[in-house]
Structure 1
């Protein structure tokens, strides 16, 4: 696959209907935090897009495949003593699954986080049954950090959380450098 077909970009108001159509899917919401709306409608899409446009710096992006919006990827910047870390979150519309799109998008936003936001660490917490997402992270260079036993409640069941991380190699090489 030509990976030039896959890009992350700022969301636009014109993405509203495509975003709502793809996001309104329990196969997606079942793998995400409960604050992700289900059902997901045009109003949810509109308010999310407005929020991302107002971000400074931008940390949430649309995933584009062959010129079409197909998902969303974000870095959730941490604060206080974790201010050089971010949690990564993403979802891809079901028609686009299995094409290597998310792996490329994860690599792109990781590079952005390290180069533009000067992050040292990016991590993800994945619900134990979402093995596809674990594979995406592993293919993108993330390493398994550990399993948080019975840490997640989703759909009235208790699940383990699999934690993954990646470190900024540029920082590791210059670790004696002051921040």
Structure 2
């Protein structure tokens, strides 16, 4: 399955994406705004593990962000269960050379539509660090609304941080 976003396309990861993922993911500036499960430094072994894992997801909830045949980032939904089975958290990253071009907002709009339609979700949300103004702009451009401030809710690189709660509700 491929989703055309205009500026990019979303497609399943392939084992051949490992070198491209490594090239774009091994970036401290990127890592500083992601969860700790995203490693830094990002190694060849990390890239190979990721594309192997992501290429076998079922149901398909994680996509490569593809520009001109190259995986330059990722976007995905973390589906919830039990009473929150109508909700999912969206997460994303994009190689720095592609920042500021509207690519991520287009990808976010596309995966939001996909999530609402494919999984019958009623809510998709994100929790960016307050300091991550570019991610906040991406969410707002994609139609997500600020629902709250979660004070002192995360720790990254030894620093306690606030997070915003943004959501798109069907």
TM range (shorter): over 0.9
Contact kept? 2:7, 2:103, Cα under 8 Å: no
Per-residue CA deviation, residues 118-166 of structure 1 (Å, 9 max, x unaligned), is: 1110000011110100000000000001000111111111111101000
Q: Corresponding residue for 2:8?
A: 6
How do residues 106-145 of structure 1 correspond to structure 2 at under 5 angstroms?
106-145=108-147
Per-residue CA deviation, residues 25-79 of structure 1 (Å, 9 max, x unaligned), is: 0011100011111011111111111111221111110001233221000101111
Q: Corresponding residue for 1:36?
A: 38
Consecutive unaligned residues in structure 2, runs of 5 or more: none
Secondary structure, aligned partner of 1:4: coil
For 1:105 and 1:5, locate their aligned partners in 2 and report how far apart those are by CA, in whole Å.
8
User: How much is the aligned-residue C-alpha RMSD, in angstroms?
Assistant: 1.0
Consecutive unaligned residues in structure 1, runs of 5 or more: 169-179
Scaled by the length of structure 1, the TM-score of the pair is 0.90
Scaled by the length of structure 2, the TM-score of the pair is 0.94
Alignment size in residue pairs: 166
Q: Corresponding residue for 1:88?
A: 90
Secondary structure, aligned partner of 1:36: coil
How do residues 159-178 of structure 1 correspond to structure 2 at under 5 angstroms?
159-168=161-170
Structure with greater Cα Rg: 1
Per-residue CA deviation, residues 62-112 of structure 1 (Å, 9 max, x unaligned), is: 001233221000101111111111000000000111110000000110011
